[in-house]
Amino acid sequence: MAQEIPSELLMNNTLINDLAAVAKDAALLQGVLMRIKESPNSSEVVTFAPFTLFPTPVPKACFLQAIAVQTHYNTLMDKISQDPDFLHEALASTISVDDFTARLYRIHQHVLKEGRSQSIVLGLNRSDYMLDQKEGEPISLKQIEINTFAASFGGLSSRIPDVHRHILKVAGQLKVLKCIPDNDPAVGLAKAVAKAWELYGSKRAVIMFLVEDQQRNILDQRYIENELWKRNIATIRKKFEDVSKSGKLDEKKRLFVDCQEVAVVYFRNGYMPQNYNSEQAWESRLMMECSLAVKCPDINTHLAGTKKVQQVLAQPGVLERFFPNEPQVVEQLRTTFVGLYTLDMGAEGDKNVTMALETPDRFVLKPQREGGGNNIYGHELCEVLNKVKNSDERMAYILMDKIRPVPSQNYLLRREMPLKLSTCLSELGCFGAYVRQGNDMLINDCVGHLLRTKNSEHLDGGVAAGVAVLDNPLLF
């Protein structure tokens, strides 16, 4: 690759140790910070968020392709969220066996029956890809998933370019500085949130970040909060428990929490079953969904981002349902798809189970869960499939072709971890932001990107899960 970091630099142990010390200080100076796991709710002691010592080579054509297709993914997620018949068709088998998805779907049905209180839709998502290289073929961009709920690292990723530029200067690699693209997702994400707040129409109303009990990654979110405060828009941070205790709807279905009117609920929590640790948490979610507040995501968009929907979208003719007269858009989206296979009961599902058991290294087994660490591979894939292959339980999963990403050499910098050269795999994400009011799409943008890199020994897991680290593309 034309822009690889020279091997003689990677093997110069003395220089690498010096650069690592410089890099950690640069990250601290730039605010690339996380709370420590020992004190996840305190900012009195923090550390640098894990990151690579050097940026990772990424083909410029693939990077630009990911940026260009993001607005189409925004539109697709929004169209799916407005199509209850499609959501019912796509999720019918899954909700019969997956309790978590079923409960979300029941909230969706309740909102449909009652009628939507709010015509303003705010979507903040991130579409994630790997660079696939099959033998004898060129590198291609292939989608892993799209996250419509709590897509992380829009804040910290805005600070990483300057960290890597500084490291490259110190390392004497001045020629490649221009190959690191600018990136500031926090500004674009905040712009969309601010637009939704403005459309809500009450200057005294606040934006509520619905957050987890443990908030180790709070500083990533603070970047977006601070962008909102710059616009004189107040933000508050509340948990499900807070909403349960002090949340209420008035006669106009306006949402009040601690006596403050909420214009926008930005869900940073609520995408995993364990986030709902009581019936009160579920009741709070339902109350928020029924309110006049703008939800990000609303329950329909949450369901649009499920793995089962991703699998159904890959079937022939399905994309055309949402883009009936736009074959070029369909082709741009479909080009990024990998093979996705149903495990529903019936002949096709049986065939796919057999295929996976015969060649497990070709596939990934995916449950209907978000966040790192849920996917199933290899020997474990066979164990799970053999256990569920003859029962309805298998419908809680989908099967996906395993992407064969291009490896690179890099150093992964983590707190109190030894410094060593690793063979790494990277994942590129693009942040999308859109705001619709009624039938009018007012904002539809790709607002930035995120590169995450992990040791090739790890099959699954993101930064928050403690496996991947933050990175930058070095375009060539």
Amino acid, single-letter form, for residue 370: E
Can you tell me the distance from the alpha carbon of 29 to that of 96, in angstroms, rounded to the nearest whole number? 51
43-50 own/partner pairs: CB under 8 Å, 24+ apart: 43/218, 43/219, 46/219, 47/415, 48/24, 48/413, 48/415, 49/156, 49/220, 49/463, 49/469, 49/470, 50/412, 50/413, 50/414, 50/415, 50/463, 50/468, 50/469, 50/470
Residue 143 has which token pair?
């989608």
Residue type, 119: S
Helical segments of 212-255, H only? 218-230, 240-246
Task: Report the distance separating Cα 378 and Cα 382, nearest Å.
Answer: 7
Alpha carbon separation from 248 to 115, 122, 167, 459 (Å, rounded): 18, 22, 51, 44
Give the Cα separation of 140 and 370 in Å (integer).
24
Distance, CA of 310 to CA of 215 (rounded, Å): 29
One DSSP character per residue, 404-430 reads -BPPEEEEEE-TT----EEEEEEEEEE
The token pair that represents 4 in the structure block: 């690889």
What residues are labeled active site? 126, 145, 147, 152, 307, 366, 370-371, 452
What is the distance of C-alpha 471 from the center of its chain?
A: 15
The token duo for 311 is: 């699998």
Q: β-strands 51-52, 408-413: how paired? A: antiparallel
* Sign, Cα dihedral of 338, 342, 343, 347: negative
88: left (phi over 0), alpha (psi -120 to 50) or beta: alpha
SS3 letters across 448-462? EEEEEEEECCCCCCC
